[in-house]
Structure 1
């Protein structure tokens, strides 16, 4: 259960993300700068918070200005992959790979290799999800929502708001989009106010979500311009948390191949 919104102004991308989770899930490790994984051939630094349970993340940004986010696709959640999709040497109790690993894989990929990377992923290893990818120019044509429903992968231009919920998914998501449309936020402050809001009432439907079994656990705000990426992070319910951490990275231009 999460909500993401974004806009572009003065040559700068602004993205906001509420992470909704069960209260029983381990508390996230706040954002920090991480190098590429040891098995990656690329040398790309990224900022992201860590999910200790899945050892991945739901949102990150790398030094090339690439932002990657993840939401569960509850309407298409599958059972563990059938044995016919597993390699012959797979363990008998093999399950899905954590979807948070997808975000790390994309962050470790140079922007000019994204299409090849997405095509090479064995999507059957992952449960249904929405993968949100925005580049540093933040033009609509370069911001996409990839939809993996457990059978096929499709993509479309990324709307200004995306939300998901395990609780009456269509009704909750529709209400959050309605509140965003009515608020029509145009500034950073207005977007933060939306992500802290309890409209129409404080509870499962509000963007700042509250439920007996879970709530919005943190709020992220990522800014990207031609010089730097900045990740601000509120570790707690957005309506109750004022203090935040700030982590920055300088933009590193993509390497140009030598002819």
Structure 2
């Protein structure tokens, strides 16, 4: 179960992201600064099991976040070799806008990639997303992309509905912090998770 939210502020935006992982998975590598061949610095953690990352912010103020999608039928056979989704976020490391970031991933061959939800936000207020369902990509941008965005393998529709109900009516940096740190199993809070999952982090980025 993962949840993403953000809010625009005078200087850019504030973004929160909770990532819940199975206890059986290895610990993530802490965020580190890297530099592209073009000289653009970017910051991201790394998945120790499959490589790649689910979250990145670069020196241009662009943040890209990847959430797994559940409940979609796959456009591939069960024994088909699959390529990790974690490779996608680094493709956006030098992007200057959210639209540019999403377009770079859209051009990739995704036929061997499991379903995902990719969101990019830039310091100018731009927001764009790509939803890959295993068959095709679905694009959206601007006001058609709004928080919170939730991913859950455990009752996905129910979890998403409950988290939308808990989301602040008038989001602010403070209210989003409270939203992402809420623990209330009876209400489906962001840090409500089954016993086989750990809420591994709450990441705060400001663009």
* TM-score (ref. length: structure 2): 0.88
Change (3 A) 1:106 1:51: same
Q: Do the aligned residues in 2 keep the contact of 1:74 with 1:166 (CA within 8 Å)?
A: yes
Whose radius of gyration is greater, 1 or 2?
1
1:145 aligns with 2:141: no
Distance 1:178 1:76 in 2: 23
Aligned length: 203
SS in 1 for 2:195: coil
Change (3 A) 1:185 1:16: farther
Distance 2:110 2:24 in 1: 28
1:24 aligns with 2:10: no
Distance 1:108 1:82 in 2: 34
CA offsets 1:151-200 (integer angstroms, 9 cap, x no match): 111112321210011011100110011111xx335332221111010246
1:57 aligns with 2:74: no
Q: Residue in 1 aligned with 2:9?
A: 9
1:176 aligns with 2:163: yes
CA RMSD, Structure 1 to Structure 2 (Å): 2.3
1:193 aligns with 2:189: no
User: In the TM superposition, what is the alpha-carbon distance from 1:223 to its structure 2 partner?
Assistant: 0.3
* TM-score (ref. length: structure 1): 0.72
Which structure 1 segments of 5+ residues have no match? 84-92, 225-259
Q: Residue in 1 aligned with 2:191?
A: 208
SS in 2 for 1:74: coil
Which structure 2 segments of 5+ residues have no match? none
Say which of 117, 120, 128 aligns to 1:133.
120
Q: Do the aligned residues in 2 keep the contact of 1:16 with 1:219 (CA within 8 Å)?
A: yes
Q: Do the aligned residues in 1 keep the contact of 2:80 with 2:112 (CA within 8 Å)?
A: no
Distance 2:24 2:95 in 1: 32
Say which of 106, 117, 122 aligns to 2:92.
106
